[in-house]
Structure 1
């Protein structure tokens, strides 16, 4: 096994030397870092160093999707080591401008959302739990299943919202509707969910009919920017995992839209993937998984919310819960891998497996976080003095 090489790809990978791993290229093995390698990167062909300098994640990620790069050993463990060294990743924002900074128009953002969420309800049902919740769960115990964690998450959100019978609740980015269904059944509220996904709307409407909740909750195919003209006001507003899709330049508009439909003194719960600082996003993730997606920092979101007279009542980090959620999702995904591959193809399966494991690794390394912020529109003095939930 060689320790040093003049080959450009090996020289480049030597930057990732915090943990030892092996690289196999053209029949030769190279050791990166010191010690016994914990995984092996098997490369069938070179990767152009210019591509790596343009975007580390794109060059390595695309090679993995195509199968010209493979991991021998645990994929998550390998990504956990790499993601812990993201400071040495490179991304040329000038060359990648059209990929990183996409249009924030309604038409384009609807297209971007559909590209991810309209893959098919049958696909998502193969690896999500029965609630069809596609966001961070809440694990009360180590024994909690994925289903338990998603039920716990929704229960915790509804308790934070301090719901009372007869209240109205708006869910911005409602997904397949489980949160509103629980709110209507257990708290007696009336609700509206909005989404840009036709597939989600179709499934949510089916659930409403089956559960006999017509007249109590409904789902609208609507852009958040249309809320000020909606003509309705709500006692409570919730948004789970949606603000990441609106784009940094539209965060203020998103908050203003939520404010426009919330009654004075009403509560707003914002649940979102967050970061310590403001970044434009990862090129590979934007190209293959979430076009246009941008993760807010906690500080910028708090700052913008205060501009609209939202009072922060509570902030909770669920970073480690999202790590566990993603590990469950990937386990379910791989249990059904053959079925998914038959339907979607080999490259899609490799791409999605890489996505789920890479996200788990970024949460595990604290590169991204998950925060729930509970806010009131103006002063709210009628809530309990302690954390009632």
Structure 2
């Protein structure tokens, strides 16, 4: 076992010494950190030094996708130890400017959203639960299934919105529609969902027809920027996992459009992946998973709401719930690896496995968070004095 090496990649990895691990390369094993290794990195090919220094995330992510880098043991376990040290990653923002700061025009953002969500409903059906919920669940009990956690999450959101029969509810970024369908069936509201994904719209419309809710629920292909021009208003607004696609330059535009269609005193719940500070995003995630994705900080959204006379009623972190949700998805994904690989290819399959495991690790380490913010447009003195939900 050696600690000294002429290989740049091994020398580079020595900076990540918070947790001990081994690196095997060209028949040699190199130990990093102190103590027994908690995981092993098997390198089959040298990784270009300039790529590592330009973006550690891209260089290591692409090496894993191609099979040039293998992790011995549980992928989440290894990433959980490694990704807690992302402050040691190298990122040349000047060289990566076009990737990190992509255009936030309507046309480009529609292209970025459909890239991720129009992969095919059959693909997502393999590893999501029956509700087709692609966002953080809510685990009331340690033993809750993924399906139960997603049902819990939707019910918690609907309770926070203090819904009453015949209220109107707008879902910005409605996904496959489970939330609006449940709101219509359980609370008797009239719901409208908007999405940029044709695949999601198609499945949502099938669900509406199957449930016989054509007079209660509808879905439209629409950009949030067009809301203010529709001439409609709503008693309640919800947006789950959509703000991450808006981009920092457009957060205020998003709030303004919500403000334009929410009735005075109306409630809005924003459920989104958040960050402790303002950060432009991870290059690998932006290139391969969520083009244009940007994670807002909690403080900037609270600030924007207050600037537009939205009163904050409640803020809740579901960070650990999202880690559990992602581990459920990762397990389901792993259970269908042969089928996914046959359908999407080996490199794609490795890429998505890395994405699901890596995201679980970043939530576990607090690199990213998940917040629900509940606000009212102006003052609302009609709500219960306590957290009614």
TM-score by length of 2: 0.99
Deviation of the 1:7 alpha carbon: 2.0
| 1:5 alignment partner, SS class | coil
Structure 1 match to 2:77: 77
Cα distance in 2 for partners of 1:76, 1:249 equals 33
Cα deviation digits, residues 283-337 of structure 1 (max 9, x gap):
0000000000000000001001111100000000000000000000000001111
Cα deviation digits, residues 87-121 of structure 1 (max 9, x gap):
10111000001100111111100000000000000
Alignment of 1:259-278 (within 5 A): 259-278=259-278
Cα distance in 2 for partners of 1:38, 1:184 equals 49
Structure 1 match to 2:321: 321
Structure 1 match to 2:122: 122
Cα distance in 2 for partners of 1:8, 1:332 equals 37
Alignment of 1:15-54 (within 5 A): 15-54=15-54
Cα distance in 2 for partners of 1:240, 1:130 equals 18
Structure 1 gaps of 5+ residues are none
Alignment of 1:104-253 (within 5 A): 104-253=104-253
Cα deviation digits, residues 137-181 of structure 1 (max 9, x gap):
000001100000000000000000000001000000000000000
Structure 2 match to 1:370: 370
Structure 1 match to 2:379: 379
Cα distance in 2 for partners of 1:308, 1:332 equals 42
Cα deviation digits, residues 355-380 of structure 1 (max 9, x gap):
00000000000000000000000000
Deviation of the 1:6 alpha carbon: 3.1
Structure 1 match to 2:88: 88
Deviation of the 1:4 alpha carbon: 2.0
Structure 1 match to 2:305: 305
Cα distance in 2 for partners of 1:299, 1:359 equals 22
| 1:126 alignment partner, SS class | helix
Alignment of 1:325-336 (within 5 A): 325-336=325-336
Cα distance in 2 for partners of 1:81, 1:177 equals 36
Cα distance in 2 for partners of 1:84, 1:101 equals 24
| 2:131 alignment partner, SS class | coil
Cα distance in 2 for partners of 1:165, 1:309 equals 27
Cα distance in 1 for partners of 2:30, 2:69 equals 15
Deviation of the 1:82 alpha carbon: 1.2
Cα distance in 2 for partners of 1:45, 1:70 equals 11
CA RMSD of aligned residues (A): 0.5
Cα distance in 2 for partners of 1:345, 1:7 equals 31
Deviation of the 1:49 alpha carbon: 1.4
Cα distance in 2 for partners of 1:367, 1:349 equals 24
Structure 1 match to 2:284: 284
Cα distance in 2 for partners of 1:74, 1:148 equals 26
TM-score by length of 1: 0.99
Structure 2 gaps of 5+ residues are none
Structure 2 match to 1:58: 58
Structure 2 match to 1:100: 100
Cα deviation digits, residues 2-38 of structure 1 (max 9, x gap):
0222321111100000111110111111001111111
Runs of 4 or more, structure 1, over 6 Å off, are none
Q: How many residues align?
A: 389
Cα distance in 1 for partners of 2:20, 2:49 equals 21
Cα distance in 1 for partners of 2:358, 2:261 equals 37
| 1:205 alignment partner, SS class | helix
Cα distance in 2 for partners of 1:78, 1:89 equals 16
